[in-house]
Amino acid sequence: MGILKRSGLVIGILIECFILFFPAAYLGETITTFNETMETIATTYNSNYAVVYDRIYHTRYQEGYKNGREIGYKEGLASQTELHNPIYKELTEFLARDKTDSRAYLEGEYVCFDFAAEVNNNAESEGIRAAYVQIRFPKEPEHAIVAFETVDKGLVFIEPQSDEEVELVIGEPYPWQSAGADQPTDDDVIVEIQIIW
């Protein structure tokens, strides 16, 4: 039964109940029966509404996902070069070409998150698989860098403000000076490293 038919049915039942029970309720007769009937109708309506909502939500969600994927495929996203893990030499050559590190750190305008996103996007545009890395400290703010899973040297973390390789250790401070990055916090002991591929 379609949603419009169900809605019409529920509205019809409510009107019918109102017509049948209102005079009796008004006169003080069968108030309990009227209240019980209205409660039953409300409960039925609410449970049917939840079922219909869930069904429509999941159907539309799946349709949206499918349509978005098809549009992306047609517009060329599927024809892009597949991402690959670089060898270390390829990584260093990419970093030498990439000029993100020559940009200025501007508080509130272009910060570590922007550096990391730009290097990540530039690497992926060249077919190199890169990860966006969030580093959490005991207090705000967080810091962002990038990572590459190199074929020959394993996981390598790069500070995108300087293209310097950094070693991350939970429980140790972030190496701001050797990384050549602006230090936004004094409480810089790493408490969490989140790698987002």
For residues 100 and 175, membership in a common domain is answered with yes
Domain boundary among the residues 57, 78, 99 is at 78
pLDDT of residue 51: 63
Residues 6+ apart with CB under 8 A from 83: 124, 127, 128, 129
- Number of folded domains in the chain? 2
Long-range pairs for 61-67: beta carbons < 8 A, 24 or more residues apart: none
Q: How far is CA 5 from CA 9, 11, 15, 42, 50, in A?
A: 6, 10, 15, 17, 16
Q: Domain range for residue 47?
A: 3-78
User: Higher confidence at residue 67 or residue 112?
Assistant: 112
Q: Looking at the structure, do residues 93 and 190 belong to the same domain, yes or no?
A: yes
Q: Which of 58, 78, 98 is the last residue of a domain?
A: 78
**Confidence bin at 20 (pLDDT 50/70/90):** low
Residue 102 shares a structural domain with residue 171: yes
pLDDT given for residue 164 in this prediction: 96
More confident of the two residues 28 and 59: 59
Query: Are both 60 and 98 inside the same structural domain?
Result: no
pLDDT in tens, 159-178: 999 999 999 999 999 998 88
Task: Give the model's pLDDT for residue 146.
Answer: 98
Of 33, 48, 78, the one marking the end of a domain is 78
| Bridge partners, residue 84, by sequence | 128
Residue 83 domain-assigned (yes or no)? no
Residue 129 lies in a domain: yes
> In this model, does residue 129 exceed pLDDT 60?
yes
Q: Round the average pLDDT of the chain to a whole number and report it.
A: 79
